[in-house]
Amino acid sequence: MIEWLKQPWPWYIAGPLVGLTVPVLLIFGNKHFGISANLRHACATCFPSDIKFFKYDYRKEFWNLFFVVGAFGGGIIAMWLLADPNPIVVHPALVNELAGYGINDYSSMVPRQLYNWDYLLSAKGLMMMVGGGFLVGFGSRYAGGCTSGHSIMGLSTLQWPSLVATVCFMIGGFLMANLFLPVILG
């Protein structure tokens, strides 16, 4: 059983499993799925104040915090029990492109040249992590949700704003990967 779980699941199995979370949440409690709203719930729970944005009944959405904790915990369990000791397989064309930026260590899920304390405390590392974190947070708030909320929940319930947000997420990802990231890493 463990060996079967360690194998990558094909899109036609994993995709429907992710997609089935939407009807399950809607049928069992009319719940809406999204990850970024949990920061708001956590702030409303931990820092009660007179800020209008945090004055709502966060207890109705408390289940979502358990969902995130479960996803995080599941990731940790999968890392311990299902980790593949082999190096990550990367397409040869991408290996050549990344070598031009000095990235050549594929021994873990993230390149060690980018994810280490020396790099993270450099100007480039701070720009990527702090700047990127700000842009993701700002974009999630401005769009009224994150990629999971819009692209999984919103599209499956045929919401026009979610289609617009998802298209913008994709355009932003393509621009970052093909225009901005090469300049930052170069």
Continuous H helices in 32-178: 37-46, 62-81, 92-99, 117-120, 123-126, 132-143, 147, 155-156, 160-175
The backbone torsions φ and ψ at residue 91, rounded to the nearest 5 degrees and listed phi first, read -60, 135
Q: How many CA atoms lie within 13 A of 98 on its CB side?
A: 16
Q: What is the mean pLDDT of residues 129-137?
A: 87
Q: What is the mean pLDDT of residues 34-38?
A: 80
pLDDT of residue 161: 92
The string of pLDDT tens digits covering residues 135-153 is 888 888 888 888 888 888 8
The string of pLDDT tens digits covering residues 84-114 is 777 788 899 999 988 988 888 888 778 888 8
How far CA 47 is from CA of 42, 43, 88, 129, 184, in Å, comes to 8, 5, 41, 25, 36
With a cut of 80, say whether residue 4 has pLDDT above it.
no
Q: Which residue has the tokens 């899920």?
A: 109
